[in-house]
Each structure stands twice: as C-alpha cells, then as structure tokens.
Chain A
Amino acid sequence: MFTARIYVTLKEGVLDPQGGAVMNSLHTLGYQSVKDVRVGKYLVVSVQASSQEQAEKQVNEMCAKLLANPVIEDYKFEFVGE
C-alpha cells in the first residue's frame, strides 16, 4: 500500500478570495508580516500498487482527471510510508 499526500493549489495568478479573507484576518490579529495567503486542498490517498512507480502513475492520472482542475489548479504529491 502506498499513501500519497496530495496538495492541490490555485494556479499563480488565479484570484484566491479565501486566501485574501484569511490574510485580512491574520492582519487583524496583528500579523502584519503576512504578505500572502493561498488556500488549497490536502488529500491523503492510499493506493494498492505493485511499486511506487505504479502508484505514482495512478495518482498522477487521478490528479489530472479529477482531483485538480488543470484550468485553475496545480497539484503535487509525495508518498509516505510503505
């Protein structure tokens, strides 16, 4: 079993109103040091596969087809454990 940690984020240049709202709130709390916030999604997907390479191929497909919308989002993932 391979466990993928998948991060889906809005592409650079795509407006992120949630990120903006979170940043404003952080500023209100006094964290003036915050210059940008981007909100994304974090998914943990466990895959049965014969090798990490196989699992990687599958997860890539899943991301491209469903988990991320390539028009507005980027994704990256890493595997943890066995």
Chain B
Amino acid sequence: MKAGIIVFPGSNCDSDAMHVCQQVMGWDTDYIWHAENQFARKYDLILIPGGFSYGDYLRSGAIARFANIMSAVADHAKGGGYVLGICNGFQILTEANLLPGALLRNNHLQFRCEQVWLKVENADSPFTCAAQEGQLIQVPIAHMDGNYFADKETLEQLQENNQILLRYVDETGLLTAAANPNGAIHNIAGICNEAGNVCGMMPHPERAAEHILGSADGRIIFESILQHWGER
C-alpha cells in the first residue's frame, strides 16, 4: 500500500497522518508538496490532511483547491484511486468539486476541539468496510468551519446513493441536535463521492488511531482502506 500526503502551506496534521500511515499501518508513505505538478510515483491513497491551508483566506480550502498538485489529485480520483480528506482536507475536496456540498462556519461560531461520537451509516465503502453498520466510534474534532451544507437535491442524492458514511450521534447512538457539534445538516460528519473512492470527513481519525491517545477507534478508517485495497 502506497500513500501520499499532500502538504500545503498551513497544513498542520500532515505529520499525524504520516505517523499513522507509516508507523501504525506500516504503509510506504510520502509527503507531496503542493507546488508539484504531478506525483513522483503511483499511489493507492492520497490523503489531504487537516490544517489551515493558505490561512483559510477567502474560504477554507478555496485557495488550496487551485494548488498545482490538485489536478493530479483530481486525475487520481478519476482513475478510481482512494482520496481521503480530513477536516481542512474535506473542505478542500468540496471546494475542488470532488465532493458535493460545502462546509460553513459552525452554527455557534466557536472553534470546537473535543471528542465526538460517530455512527457508521454505511459500512460498505472503502473507508468504512472494516466497521459494522451502525458501529459507534469516538474520534476528536477540531474545527471552525465544519457545518456541512448541501441543497435539498444534493442531500437526496447523498441519501439515495448511501454516500453519507458518518453522522454525529450521542454515546448511545442517537442522532440528536445536542450531539451535533457544528450544525451540520442531518448531523453529517463524513461523506463519499458517488463512485465511493473519494471521502471527506471533519473528525480526525488520525488523532485517534492508538490507545495511548485515548481512543484507537479512528484506526478503523485506515483499516478499511487497507482491507478494501486488499480485496479489490
């Protein structure tokens, strides 16, 4: 398994992602600088990490979306390669039209950094296939613009195609307003594209992949990618 982690000016979860891919999962992993025009070699997974690319100027992800490397990322996605965007990575993928919808400012205007519970809504995707449908995982969030928004038509498509992978729930698995940390429509925490190979999520599975960090639940996302890659 070969993974590439895109690094933008202002990315700050790239080392965490590298640690999990390389040390925890044992993958052959490279950093890829945003100014490159193409990948130096072929990757199975491209990971777009969290942070504040380009200072989040204009809109979160808006400027990163036009970085040189993004056309290579789009080609990789078009070719069926896995793309995982975490937090700012999710914002970048929506800005790049690789995922539908947009991430708005949190409805309470606060930056939230806390553990949340997530329910795996669809355990059939490359990013969740190692989990059980309905499984609850505890993973941290850390964001200001995580309020997922999509128009009615897009939401219907997401539902119909089972593109909603993760939702914010309480610890008993109930979908409540109190368990929603940012106002995201229908408590949506993570989605995939129609083909299923591009995924974006606001929570940080790379910060919860080892027990020493308080939760190893996030590892299931990486285990899923590995399992799907092995099976296909």
Residues of A in contact with B (beta carbons under 8 Å apart)? 14-15, 17-18, 21, 41, 66-67, 69, 71-72
Contact = CB atoms under 8 A, between A and B. Distances in A.
B81 interface: no
14 contacts: A14-B149, A15-B149, A17-B105, A17-B107, A17-B109, A17-B147, A17-B183, A18-B109, A41-B58, A66-B58, A66-B66, A69-B102, A71-B149, A72-B104
A71 B102 contact: yes
Interface string B101-118: 110111111000000000
Contacts of A15: 104, 107, 147, 149, 183
Given A66-B62, A66-B66, A71 B107 contact: no
A15 to B, nearest CB: 6
Interface size class of B (residues with CB under 8 A): 20 to 34
Nearest to A11: B151
A68 B58 CA distance: 9
Contacts of A67: 58
**Interface of A (DSSP majority class):** mixed
Nearest to A14: B149
Interface string B83-122: 0000000000011000011101111110000000000000
Contacts of A14: 104, 149
B157 to A, nearest CB: 14
A16 B58 CA distance: 16
Nearest to A71: B102
Given A15-B104, A17-B183, A18-B105, A72 B149 contact: yes
B59 interface: yes
Interface of B is mostly: loop
Contacts, number: 38
Given A17-B108, A66-B62, A67-B58, 4 more contacts: A15-B147, A17-B104, A18-B109, A66-B63
A69 B95 contact: yes
Contacts of B95: 69
Contacts of A18: 105, 109
A67 B66 CA distance: 12
Contacts of B62: 66, 69
A57 B215 CA distance: 52
Interface in B137-165: 147, 149-151
Nearest to B151: A71
A18 B183 CA distance: 13
Contacts of B100: 71
Contacts of A17: 104-109, 147, 183
A65 to B, nearest CB: 8
A47 to B, nearest CB: 18
A79 to B, nearest CB: 21
Contacts of A41: 58
A-B complex: 4 closest residue pairs judged by Cβ atoms = A71-B102, A72-B102, A17-B107, A17-B109
